[in-house]
Amino acid sequence: MSIDTIKLDLAKKIIDTQDKGIINHIKAIFDTHPETNWFESLPDDVRASVEQGVKEADRGEGTPHAEVMKRVKKWLKK
């Protein structure tokens, strides 16, 4: 079965159904599965910063999550 045939069949089923739950599930799939790569849509400077951070983490640079959480807890108590 071709992709176009499957899409047409699904479209017919969506149009024919009155089941709001099914429609909500289909909508949720589209809402949580974007067709574009969100990272690619970020501005160049933001992508560069993220990539730099990943490289630093890979080299073991930075502060471990547990340490950051300790600092935040102390800060929140003030």
SS (H, E, C) 3-69: HHHHHHHHHHHHHHCCCHHHHHHHHHHHHHCCCCCCCCCCCHHHHHHHHHHHHHHHCCCCCCHHHHH
pLDDT band at 40 (very low <50, low <70, confident <90, very high): confident
Residue 47 burial (CB count, 10 A): 13
What confidence tens digit (pLDDT) does each residue in 54-68 have?
A: 999 899 998 888 999
Q: Is the pTM of this model over 0.85?
A: no
Q: How far apart are CA 78 and CA 75, in angstroms?
A: 6
